[in-house]
Chain A
């Protein structure tokens, strides 16, 4: 061991500080807070790279984080004379347009949050009011049960863990995952994958070429509508499903592993059709595919335990 060995850790630490210094200096700190109403409306948009939205049991909004020094952070709170603010609006713009900066937005659980960005990672948790999130790339992850949930992306992925009573999820090529269930949900994509699980009252799944997979149940009186041009459709229901099932393809195949009913040739021998009533009926399952294959089967025991 050479005599300089004991100093090596100090040397490394010194170089680490030197390397980090320009980065730290190039960031500006964001911190703004204010008392708001329990259902305040908060809007944030711009070129941030990461946004964490957290619902908390306080009637105040706090936005913290950092953005590059050359970025422009603007906005603030609507401030009526006395009393809590009913809303806030924030904007981040970087001169290059390159997404940068990390922000954390804390809002009352009942707040409504509207966020719009280019390529960004948005992670929302614990908001029971409304969420309206829009990105081009990156990803959106929502945990909890916002009363109203709208998420739109281009090639960004959308993942929702929780039961939003009303949900609209849309992408162009990004994948969409929706779990747990909803009273009224619509999931649409052009070429992304759709994975939906849970118990639903009204559910619409729509794709052009993206595959559609559903593992779940439709409540009595509810409906599941699926349409696709060429995506495969894989539907798995509980063995005790009670529904009127109506499936037709224009040129795709139908595989029925749910029960013993066989599909029949479609109109003028094109495509296939399958229609039957499972259990006592009551729910409506309606599937139309141009040339994507459709598979119907029973949920595995693992999934059944989740209902």
Chain B
């Protein structure tokens, strides 16, 4: 978003400006324009006057801009079912399988070094036994999800208990699906469809958290 004197900001952009919803760069850009353009500065003043009448209302309905800038950057780089990337991840998983097989073969050829172990109990969801593909997807999403989780936790007191209950019920559904997809991937690490489905479930979770973090206070 760049504004010179000929290209005036839209009403939406001005709204976002007075609502403090622009990125720091966007805000700076608009401030520069407002300093040079009396017409837009007047619009801004009138809009702020309008909002003064609503001072009792919560001014902020979204997480702070610094959180969003990071979130948006991560989301922007990912398509819902990033097939191209999934192929790369699947290729990486295949490579891992090949390396694992080679190591196993080496160990089998040296029977004196092979130790018999009891099979481990069912792996928790903390990544044990996950293939490279799933770990990469996990890492990508978990960071964003953690930020949104924190943002939602901060706004929790502002939301109605029934709304929180609705959000948490849906999050449980998604988490269960994510858990199943991860376990399936541990058994079939090179399955690119599984990676895509896991990514799709993560997308649903991300959307849900984003929406929850944007809800109006007291709703």
Residues of A within 8 A of B (CB): 40-41, 43, 45-47, 72, 74-76, 78-81, 86-87, 89, 91, 93, 97, 112, 116-119, 134, 136-137, 152, 154-155, 170, 172-173, 188, 190-191, 204, 206, 208-209, 225, 227, 229-230, 248, 250, 267-268, 270, 288, 290-291
Contacts and interface: CB of A to CB of B under 8 A. Distances in A.
B219 A208 contact: no
Interface residues of B, number: 49
A41 B11 contact: yes
A112 B204 CA distance: 27
Contacts of A204: 80
B197 A72 contact: no
B83 to A, nearest CB: 9
B81 A190 contact: no
Interface in B1-53: 10-12, 14-15, 39, 42-43, 46-47, 50-51, 53
B207 A170 contact: yes
Contacts of A209: 173, 177
B213 interface: no
B149 to A, nearest CB: 16
B211 interface: yes
B167 interface: yes
Nearest to B52: A74
B180 A173 contact: no
Contacts of B67: none
Contacts of A74: 53-54, 57
B43 A206 contact: no
Q: Dominant SS at the A interface? A: strand
B57 A93 contact: yes
A47 B218 contact: yes
Contacts of B107: none
Across the A-B interface, the 4 shortest Cβ-Cβ residue pairs: A118-B219, A87-B11, A97-B218, A229-B177
15 contacts: A41-B12, A72-B54, A75-B53, A80-B42, A116-B216, A118-B160, A155-B166, A173-B166, A173-B169, A204-B80, A206-B203, A229-B201, A230-B177, A250-B194, A267-B191
A290 B197 contact: yes
B183 to A, nearest CB: 11
B57 A81 contact: no
A225 B15 CA distance: 36
A37 to B, nearest CB: 9
B41 to A, nearest CB: 12
Given A46-B216, A72-B56, A208-B177, A227 B200 contact: yes
Interface string B166-207: 110110011001001100100010010110110011011001
Given A191-B170, A191-B173, A118 B163 contact: yes
Contacts of B137: none
A97 B160 contact: yes
Contacts of B97: none
Given A118-B216, A188-B207, A80 B201 contact: no
A290 B194 CA distance: 8
A172 B15 contact: no
A154 B197 contact: no
Contacts of B91: none
A154 to B, nearest CB: 5
A137 B50 CA distance: 29
A188 B56 contact: no
Nearest to B177: A229
B57 A250 contact: no
B10 to A, nearest CB: 7
A288 B11 contact: no
